[in-house]
C-alpha cells in the first residue's frame, strides 16, 4: 500500500459537508395514520403538495394525515360465481319453471330425432 493512501475513502472523494454539496432543499415532514394506529412518516419538499392519503407501510390500509378522521379499510366483496349471480336474479320458483321448460324442450327434440350435443 502506498504511504500517502488514506484508508476509508475512495478516489475522487472530496471533503464531507454541506458547504461543498450545496444547501439541502427545504422539506416538510408529514405523518399518516391508518385505522390500525400505525404511523407512516414521510418527507416531502415544501413546494410539493402532500397527498390526502397514503398506503400504510405496515398493513397496506389507506392512511390519512388527519388523526381524528382516519380512513377505514375499503370494503372488498368476495368472488361470486355465475350461479350466485343467477340466484340473485331469480327466485327458486322461477328457476324451477325455467328448468322445466328447458327439459321439456330437450325431451321433445330428442323424441323427434334431432341431433343434440
In a domain, 7, yes or no: no
In a domain, 3, yes or no: no
pLDDT attached to residue 41: 94
What pLDDT, in 10s, does the model give residues 87-115? 899 898 998 999 999 999 999 988 888 87
What pLDDT, in 10s, does the model give residues 61-79? 999 988 888 888 778 888 9
What mean pLDDT, rounded, does the chain reach? 84
In a domain, 101, yes or no: yes
pLDDT attached to residue 115: 76
In a domain, 10, yes or no: no
CA distance 89 to 84: 9
Domain that holds residue 60: 25-64
Q: What sign does the CA torsion over 109, 111, 114, 117 have?
A: positive
Which residues 6+ apart lie within 8 Å of 106 measured at CB? Answer: 116
Residue 25 has pLDDT above 90, yes or no: no
Q: In what order do the strands lie in the sheet with 27-33?
A: 39-45, 27-33, 62-64, 53-55
- Are 98 and 90 in contact by the 8 Å Cβ rule? The answer is yes
- Are 42 and 54 in contact by the 8 Å Cβ rule? The answer is yes
pLDDT attached to residue 29: 94
DSSP annotation string for 46-66: SSSPPPSEEE-TTT--EEES-
In a domain, 96, yes or no: yes
In a domain, 60, yes or no: yes
CA 25 centroid distance within chain? 31
In a domain, 76, yes or no: no
In a domain, 1, yes or no: no
pTM listed for this prediction: 0.50
How many separate domains does the chain show?
Answer: 2
Residue in the block written with cell 391508518: 34
Amino acid at each position: 500500500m502506498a504511504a500517502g493512501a488514506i484508508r476509508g475513502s475512495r478516489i475522487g472523494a472530496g471533503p464531507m459537508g454541506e458547504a461543498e454539496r450545496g444547501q439541502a432543499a427545504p422539506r416538510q415532514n408529514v405523518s399518516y395514520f391508518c385505522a390500525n394506529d400505525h404511523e407512516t412518516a414521510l418527507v416531502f419538499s415544501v413546494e410539493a403538495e402532500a397527498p390526502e392519503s397514503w398506503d400504510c407501510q405496515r398493513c397496506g390500509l389507506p392512511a390519512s394525515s388527519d388523526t381524528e378522521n382516519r380512513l377505514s379499510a375499503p370494503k372488498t366483496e368476495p368472488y361470486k360465481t355465475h350461479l350466485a349471480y343467477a340466484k340473485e336474479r331469480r327466485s327458486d320458483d322461477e328457476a324451477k319453471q325455467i328448468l322445466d321448460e328447458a327439459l321439456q324442450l330437450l325431451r321433445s327434440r330428442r323424441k323427434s330425432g334431432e341431433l343434440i350435443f
